[in-house]
Amino acid sequence: MSSLMIGVDVGGTFTDIFVLNEAAGTARVAKVPTTRPDQSAGFLDGIKQEVSDFSQISVVVHGTTAGTNALLERKGAKTGVICTQGLRDVLEMRRRDRPRTWGLRGNFEPVVDRRNRLEVPERTLADGTVRTPVDLEAVRSAAQVLQTNGCESVAILFANSYANTANEEAAVALLREIWHNQHVSASSEILPEIREFERFSTTALNAYLQPEVSGYFARLENALKADGFEGEFMIVQSNGGVMAVDTACRLPVRTALSGPAAGVIAAAYIAQSAGFENVITGDMGGTSFDVSLISQGRSMLSPQTSIDFGMVVRNPMIEITTIGAGGGSIAWVDKGGLLNIGPQSAGSNPGPVAYGLGNTRPTVTDANVFLGRIDPDNPIGGELERLDIEAAGRAIDEHVGNPLGLTTVDAAEAILKVANSRMAGAIRLVSIERGFDPKNFAFMPFGGGGALHAGAMLAEVGIARAIVPRYPGVTSAMGCVIADMRQDFVQTINSSVDMLDEAALAAFMCAHIDQGLALLDAARTNFEARDLSFELDMAYVGQTHTVSVPLTVKTDGSTVTAVTRAEIETAFDATYKATYGRLLQNGVRRILNLRSAVTGKRPKFDLSTLAPPEGGRAEKVGMRKVHFGDTWYDTAIYDRLALPSGTKIVGPAILTQPDTTVLIEPHLQGRVDRFGNTIIEPQEE
Amino acid sequence: MSEIDPITLSVLAGRMEQIADEMDATLFRAAFNPIIAEAHDASHGLYHAVSGDTLVQGKSGLPIFVGVMSFAVKAVIEKAAKDGDLQDGDIYIFNDAHIGGTHLSDMRLVRPYYHAGKLFCYLASVGHWHDVGGAVPGNYNPAATDVFQEAINLPPVKFARAGKVNQDIIDILMRNTRLPQSAMGDLNGQLGALDLGVKRMDELLDEYGGETITAALEALGHRAEALMRSELTELPDGRWEAEDYLDNDGINDEPLKIKIALEIKNDTMLLDFTGSAPQCAGPVNIALPTAVATAYVAIKHIFPTLPANAGVMRPIEVVVPEDSLLAAKFPAPTGGYTETILRMIDVVFSAFSQAAPERVVANAYGTINALSIAGKRKNGQPWVMFSFYGGGHGGSIETDGLNHGNAPISTATIPPMEILEAAYPVMFRTWALRPDSAGAGAHRGGLGAIYEIEVLEENGAEAFLFGERGSFAPKGIAGGGDAALNVFQYEQDDGWHSPPLTSKMRGINLKAGQAVRLQTPGGGGYGKADERSHAAIARDVARGLVGDVEADAVYGTNWREGTA
């Protein structure tokens, strides 16, 4: 019987594999180098390390940065655009912004060359009236020009198509007949929402990714099948839900934050299982620190993101705040004598000075190495023999210690202090600044470096405790196995509440449910439950920032009992009051968009599968001098994965495992819970 | 005063910046009016208790406020000294542009911050209100000849006394705006931002103590100064001049000169605007604080990594002649200050480019083009579509200029066309890049835009424009060419027309089906045209950004041998 569920997260440096054996109740993890340019080789190698018979696999779920990388590196397909007369430059004109506030430098090339942005006569007005029907002969000849120019994919971008899809539908129907492949994207299909730049950009980027990303997914699926895989292959979306691979091939733009989103999903589940509903996650990589907040077990969603300047993707995605303070971030003293961390980074190659691969400027990791916090003899990843402490110290002296008149140790502590303070700033941003009190949250570090800084986050931000998952280095891969299947839909309504056509709103909801459930039905995965949720983006007339108003909607299968205007008013007032504290007298309430989500809840695996084996040892495996504050401490080293549940380790201590170092500072203690997580908290008096 | 260690200083610099940023964010979220909520025309910061100098300012506020806010605080310090009863919980409010800079739409709230019973610093909030009375809704009156035709004028007055708000002032303000609901929302948002600032400062001072923070603030000023001096030392010594013109003041059709002499000597710099035109009749005058703040904005663009701290200005002397339009006297109108300060930034860049061309970009499009189209719907309901339009940025040593960017004094984005079409009875026939609008050069400027807007409303509409660069084009630097002029046209029964004052016009009557067309300038070019690669020229032509005949004219015909 096939009972293996596999999560695969392909990152910049490593490909992480998480294998869950549902029948046996066991889980295994593997980490292999990411292969380039074709990531599928590493992907398959990683699975093969753990699984010999692919027919045993029921499902493979993939968190991928293939889409993000193709956008950042501008490696998508040659794409054509067919658009409304007079609007060929919307993609290039953006929303009239600039890359940086100060300096006025830099410019922007859209992913579609102006030569491949062709206009056709057609026009729909804002109220949905078709002023000029689409000229299909013009569409046909535009398509021929684009094909002659070598375009692999095409996007149809018509003004106000959110209000009436007729012109776009006619054009797309023709294009799907005559275009030489299936890569045809229409803006009203991808995002039927008002705001032409955001809709056009999302649609054009989708078209740009389609050939490349769907080709990658097809290669993976074929390779899996060639090795005997008969299960289902799914992809994680930016919203933290999974989708079937054929949906992903149609909507690759929805994978923009696939990998990081999976990590947050896993963090939420691990924390919830361990009894923490409110968590702030911190993923520390080589170049950045990514923070996300989970309140009452739910992660925050943001409506859009910019992959790079001018490359806007509008789709619900897990909100992740990034600052440029990772292990590879470079410490430097500016001309005014102030110590700074980043944004320049040595990344993972050449990496910190201690790697000995050519970088000579000190990084956050070099400070950790010099202070004894990282074991120089067993570098993470296993590719390097030994870390060069002396070189790290020299770089710290030259670039930080000497200019500031500090000893090497003090300079290294200073680097950590400034880095920690920047990381703490990011945590304040997602918590205090959004009205959440960090005291009510646990901090969950993951990624390779986060657990070295957990204690500092407790001290700086006033978080009560940190929870380090048992396998912090493979959290995203684990999240792939946990994530639910979810589809988001949007439809612009643009009506004041008193003018709302209740039946039309209900009809949009029905259509969303039909499409969403059809996708769930087509999946071969079992769902424990199916969830529908509906929100309206609403504001008072004249206001530009909307609030998301959740609606309670009675449904039976795919039939919907229409929500009344009165119910909508009540729901808006409640949300508005909760957000701004007071209502506006005589304000006219307006509905901008309907947002629907259809979720298939996948069965959750029991995290005690990961629990420490019976009979582990809570004995130290070594001692090392580690610097905290202003003193060197003789610090005990433990093999983290061998520690049995219930173990309590009093700081200072270091817990090691192949891909992570957990630091327990003096005055803190670490407790191993029944799932193998380490809870770091102040020592009991 | 105690010395502060550099590490604590690094930490505190970040913490205090975050406080100002958070005050910005609080107002952006709460504000009712899109000029603040979407265009971020607002700013917050911490200011010195005695001098009023900028200590820390939020990163997301409008760039021009970074320099101008300290003048508002200085004005309040003077007024408070006169009142003689400053206490914890007081808040001053005012919008007088001759005292606080910019224009009357910007409402300033200044609050002394006390710690342990002692005045520690000032917190301030400024935001652009949607309407503050005057002859024209939205206060952009191109024909104003004094401030009384522009808006209500409020000098610094005590809005709250020991925490108790003076309702009379609210009543006066609300009676003097066409949009009281919006104004009240913005006022509440600004008060909320100040409250938040107080709360965060309390937390910070409790954690670190007043003395450490004072030392940190002092040290940050020194650091900002040291950074500026070190930048200036790297530059050659010398004196460079530049001049440019405003088209007219909206009343008299005469160009107005803006002139600068820029001098660098060791670690100091002089910006001398002597020779600029005298005070004029129309609203392109600016008050002295605005002029000084503008010098600061130009400097921040040239040295983008410098902190928003008054220390930056210590090595810099700004000379603004007494009788010029850059130091206009009350009650001269200042509503169109944006156009004048954009031209000041242009001449600073042009002069600086002679000293170190690699440090600056060529002139940007240089006008905000405030276009408003207004009318009444069939049911009698009035509507006003008011927006600013974009143009090209200048080329730099690194790249061609940005196409369709926002003005250097602002970070505002443009509303989506579909949002405008949904809200107002108009249709954009064109929303596109404007070919041949950029200055030529080794790196050409970015392109301006063409917006053609048709009125759909049966009752017709009326149009107003406040723009510039209709007669004097944005300039190139380091041998680069000038960009195209701003061109505004409107449709009548007998065809297309242009206004007599080029880019300033009010009361144009449009029928349903008639349109206005705005063609904005691109940016100036960087470096000589004959240094541009043939491939780049051929690509521009193939993309339709530059016409082939036009390319021959500025670049010669050799590019035709290259490949696109």
* Structure tokens, A585: 């007298």
Instruction: Outline where DSSP puts E strands in A285-427.
Output: 289-295, 298-299, 301-306, 312-318, 321-323, 329-333, 339-345
Burial degree of B89 (CB within 10 A; 0-12, 13-18, 19+): middle
Interface predicted TM-score (ipTM) of this complex, two decimals? 0.93
Q: Kindly list the distances between the CA atom of residue B197 and the CA atoms of A470, B22, B40, B58, B113, in Å, as whole numbers in the listed order.
A: 40, 8, 18, 11, 9
Q: Cβ distance A191 to A202 under 8 Å? A: yes
Contacts of A194 in chain B (CB under 8 A): 416, 418-419, 422
Residues 6+ apart with CB under 8 A from B348: B242, B260, B262, B271, B295, B298, B299, B302
Residue B130, pLDDT score: 85
For A478-531, the pLDDT digits (tens) are 999 988 988 899 999 999 999 999 999 999 999 999 999 998 888 777 788 999
Question: With 50 as the cut, is the pLDDT of residue B506 above it?
Answer: yes
Give pLDDT, residue B7. Answer: 83
Whether the pLDDT of residue B125 is over 80: the answer is: yes
Query: By CA distance, what is A433's nearest residue in B?
Result: B22
Of A95, A90, A148, which is closest to residue A119 (Cα–Cα)? A90
DSSP A413: H
pLDDT tens by residue, B535-554: 999 999 999 999 999 999 99
pTM reported for the whole predicted model? 0.92
CA B337/CA B370 separation, integer angstroms: 12
| pLDDT band for position A624 (cuts 50, 70, 90) | very high
β-partners of residue A590 are: A496, A539
B1 or B367, greater pLDDT = B367
Question: Would the CB atoms of B429 and A86 count as touching at under 8 Å?
Answer: yes
Mutate to test the interface with A, among B369, B431, B450, B541 (most CBs of A within 10 A): B431
Per-residue pLDDT averaged across A388-417, rounded? 95
> What pLDDT digit, counting tens, does each position of B333-344 carry?
999 999 999 999
Average pLDDT score over residue span B370-377: 90
| Vertex B355: Cα angle to B349 and B358 (nearest 5) | 70
Return the minimum-mean-pLDDT range out of A602-611, A676-685, B307-316, B445-454: A602-611
Name which residue leads in pLDDT, A24 or B237: B237
pLDDT at B2: 52
Separation between Cα atoms, residue B223 and residue B231, nearest integer Å:
12
For the segment B431-454, the average pLDDT, to the nearest whole number, is: 98
Retrieve residue B323's tokens: 């009788």
Nearest Cα of chain A lies from the Cα of B341 at a distance, in angstroms, of 16
| pLDDT for residue B322 | 94
Omega before A211 within 30 of 0, i.e. cis? no
pLDDT for the residue numbered B562: 62
CB contact under 8 A, B9 and A338: yes
More confident residue, A460 or A435: A460
| 3-class DSSP state of B491 | strand
Smallest Cβ–Cβ distance between A108 and the set B389, B396, B402 belongs to B402
Residue B129's Cβ-side half-sphere holds a number of Cα atoms within 13 Å equal to 35
Indicate if the pLDDT at residue B315 is higher than 90. Answer: yes
* Residue A52: CB atoms within 10 Å: 9
Nearest by Cα to A486 from A670, A673, A258: A258
| Contacts B11 to A, Cβ<8 Å | 417-418, 421
| Residue A35 pLDDT class (50, 70, 90 cuts) | confident
- What percentage of chain B reaches a pLDDT higher than 90? 77
User: pLDDT > 90: what percent of chain A?
Assistant: 64
pLDDT at B1 exceeding the cut of 50: no
| Of A148-152, A311-315, B29-33, B555-559, the least confident | B29-33
Break chain A into its structural domains and give their ranges. Answer: 1-57, 78-200, 484-601, 609-682
Note the pLDDT tens digit of each residue in A331-348. Answer: 999 888 889 998 888 877
* Cα(B548)–Cα(B534) distance, integer angstroms: 12
- Mean pLDDT on B65-80: 92
Contact A494 B543 (CB under 8 A): no
> B353: distance to nearest CA of chain A, Å?
14
Q: Which residue has the tokens 């006394």?
A: B161
Looking at residue B308, its pLDDT comes to 81
Distance between CA atoms of A501 and A498, rounded to whole angstroms? 9
Beta-strand runs (E) in A112-231: 117-120, 123-124, 130-132, 153-157, 184-186
| In the predicted structure, residue B564 carries a pLDDT above the cut 70 | no
- Which residues of chain B neighbour A334 with C-beta distances below 8 Å? 227, 305
Is the pLDDT at B178 greater than 90? The verdict is no
pLDDT tops 90 at residue A684:
no
Q: How is chain A split among helix, strand and coil, in percent rounded to 5?
A: 35, 30, 35
According to the model, what pLDDT value does residue B455 have?
A: 98
Between A117 and A24, residue with greater pLDDT: A117
> Are A197 and B11 inside 8 Å of each other by CB?
no
Q: How does pLDDT run across A358-384, given as a tens digit for each residue?
A: 999 999 999 999 999 998 887 765 567
Assess contact for A542 and B32: CB atoms under 8 A: yes
B23: nearest CA in chain A? Answer: A433
Q: What's the rounded Cα separation, in Å, for the pair B460 and B552?
A: 43
Direct distance between the N- and C-terminal alpha carbons of chain B, in angstroms, rounded to an integer? 65
Asked if the C-beta of B405 comes within 8 angstroms of chain A's C-beta atoms, the answer is yes
Q: pLDDT tens digits for A548-560?
A: 999 999 988 778 8
Mean pLDDT across chain B, nearest whole number? 93
Nearest to A421 among B11, B419, B428 (CB): B11
- pLDDT, mean of residues A27-46: 85
Residues of A whose CB is below 8 A from B301 = 102-104
Cβ neighbours of residue A101 under 8 Å, at least 6 residues apart?
B59, B63, B411
Supply the pLDDT for residue A381: 59
Specify the residue for token string 């424990």: A528
A484-601 placed in CATH 3.30.1490:
yes
**CB contact residues (below 8 A), chain A span 395-414, against chain B:** 404, 414
CB spacing of A87 vs B393 below 8 angstroms: no
pLDDT surpasses 80 at B450: yes
Flag the least confident range among A138-147, A181-190, A295-304, B491-500: A295-304
Residues of chain B in contact with residue A197, where contact means CB-CB under 8 angstroms, are 416
